[in-house]
Amino acid sequence: MPVIPVAAPDWQAAPAAFLRHLYDVAVARALPGHITAGQLPPPPRGRTVVLGAGKAGGAMAEAVDALWPSDAPLTGLVVTRYDHVPPAYRARPGRIEVVEAAHPVPDAAGLAAAQRIAQLTQGLTADDLVLCLISGGGSSLLSAPAPGLTLEDKQAINRALLHSGAAIDEMNCVRKHLSALKGGRLAAMCAPAQVLTLLISDVPGDDPAVIASGPTLPDATTCADALAILRRYKIEVPEAALRGLESGAFETPKPGDAVFTGHQWRMLATPQMSLQAAADAARAAGLPAHILSDEMEGESRTVGGVHAALARAVARSGQPFSRPCVLLSGGETTVTVRPRAPGQPRGRGGRATEFLLGCALALQGQAGVWVLAADTDGIDGVEHNAGALVTPDTLTRAAAAGVSAVEMLDANNAFAFFEALGDLVVPGPTYTNVNDFRVVLVL
């Protein structure tokens, strides 16, 4: 987990350490223990049941448990990714049970957790309160399939979506319509109880209905939208899924539906909030900072090339920003996995490292430019790193080590490239998730 230094490292003498400091600041802004106070309602007349899913789920449960009055009843179940339960809560579990399951491809543990969450909604009354703790990753973790589908069906569709290059809102549109709980269905199960959803956003635009596929939010997308996405990316699905989508049997609760009457939601953390915290930290260290966008999407390697072009313009001509400065961006890029030659192993790496490898190739060793990209949940794809670092001599060191940047990028193998250079960023699980964090330092 990131630890914030008391003072920022000198950005001229230690640029790499300074970029890591900004990453840690961004992550800290989104930690549930820092942001949940003041967001909880008073205890209801009846029971309070906590339900939730996401990479921040364990830390969100820990925060709610600590803040909820000790003499007020509190029970519930939250599912998070494996190894994403904060150590203190793992050692001394509280009133909210936290279980772990697989991400990004669901597993049997996630299915069992989803089934138990559904069972906990039974018997709720209008005097009861359901606190839903939702964060990025919850869509895969809350993996109860729609009627007629199996866990294996959901796993295959998830893998295909992850490799297709589909944007997160497209993936979640499909997931909603093939789920028993997502797309507002969990909210329907909770009726007639009061429902308050607390959210940590990992999606461009911070649409609460997209975060973790919106289990307690109305869904404006349709079965027809899901079918169009599947066809656009040439993703095959079982006959039961096609029948459910084509007939409309898998349609989700829509805005205005009575099941959402009286429901509330509150946004605890967003990518923009974390980018702003990092920008404030850079300015406090005497360095101008510019937030480019918190909603950047597109192919990771292409977005990396765009950042490189901007950094080169700043370094060479002082346009559109004067140097020295820091450029910050967030959002969620995508990686389209390229076909492999027979016998060629699958490449390793996620969005952050592929962004960085594309960026390094486009920078071509530009003097005075350092770049860090990392996922704020501490995990880039399925590897143990959050991201990596590009320095002015990245390509030179790679050539000396006999590592081809072009070949590694063609093979979607950016993890191995940066691992060979010793430039991976490995904070471990951070217990939150506000998506991609990218920072460019131009001296």
DSSP string, 341-376: PTTPPPP---HHHHHHHHHHHHHTT-TTEEEEEEET
Which CATH number does the domain housing residue 362 bear? 3.40.1480.10
**Which pLDDT score is estimated for 111?**
95
**260 and 391 share one domain:** no
Whether 75 and 146 map to the same domain: the answer is yes
Q: Tell which of 240, 269, 298 closes a domain.
A: 269
* Residue 427 near residue 317, CB atoms below 8 Å: no
Same domain, 359 and 211: no
408: number of CA atoms within 13 Å, CB side? 27
Task: Confirm whether 15 is domain-assigned.
Answer: no
Same domain, 136 and 279: no
Contact 182, 139 (CB under 8 A): yes
Asked whether residue 235 falls in the same domain as residue 322, the answer is: no
Measuring CA to CA, which residue among 103, 96, 57 is closest to residue 82? Answer: 103
Tokens coding 127: 């005097």
What pLDDT is stored for residue 302 in this prediction?
97
Beta bridge partners of 76: 50
Spatial distance between the Cα atoms of 158 and 174, rounded to a whole number of angstroms: 9
Distance CA 329, CA 296 (A): 7
Please indicate, yes or no, if residue 218 is contained in any of the structural domains. yes
CA atoms within 13 A on the CB side of 353: 34
Averaged over successive runs of 10 residues, the pLDDT of the chain (443 residues) comes to 70 97 97 95 97 97 97 97 96 97 93 97 97 95 93 91 87 94 96 97 93 96 96 94 95 94 95 97 97 95 98 97 98 84 71 97 98 96 92 98 95 95 97 96 98
Q: Is residue 362 part of a domain?
A: yes
Which amino acid is it at 70?
A: S
Q: Which of 248, 269, 290 is the last residue of a domain?
A: 269
Distance CA 433, CA 30 (A): 7
- Domain final position from 269, 291, 307: 269
156 and 277 share one domain? no
Q: Is residue 25 part of a domain?
A: no
304: Cα within 13 Å, side-chain hemisphere? 29
Cis amide leading into 9 (omega within 30): no
**Could you tell me if 225 and 288 lie in one domain?**
no
Domain count across the chain: 2
Q: DSSP for 281-312, please give it.
A: HHHHTT--EEEEEEEE-SBHHHHHHHHHHHHH
Q: Domain holding 167: CATH number? A: 3.40.50.10180
**Same structural domain for residues 275 and 265?**
no
pLDDT tens profile 192-218: 999 999 999 999 899 999 999 999 999
- Shared-domain flag, residues 225 and 139: yes
Identify whether residues 203 and 141 lie together within a single domain: yes
CA-CA distance, 343 to 92, in Å (whole number)? 47
Q: Are 218 and 254 in contact (CB under 8 A)?
A: yes
The verdict on residue 96 lying in a domain is yes
CA distances from 101 to 80, 201, 254 (A): 6, 20, 29
Q: What is residue 7's predicted lDDT score, i.e. its pLDDT?
A: 83
Task: Return the CA Rg of the chain.
Answer: 22
Is residue 168 located within the same domain as residue 236?
A: yes
- Beta pairing class for 75-81 and 48-53: parallel
194 falls within a domain? yes
Residue 157 lies in a domain: yes
The verdict on residue 140 lying in a domain is yes
pLDDT at 274: 97
Q: Domain span at residue 362?
A: 271-442
pLDDT given at position 339 = 72
Please check whether residues 261 and 347 belong to one and the same domain: no
Question: How many Cβ atoms from other residues are within 10 Å of residue 93's Cβ?
Answer: 13
pTM, two decimals, is 0.92
Structure tokens that stand for 110 in this block: 């996630």
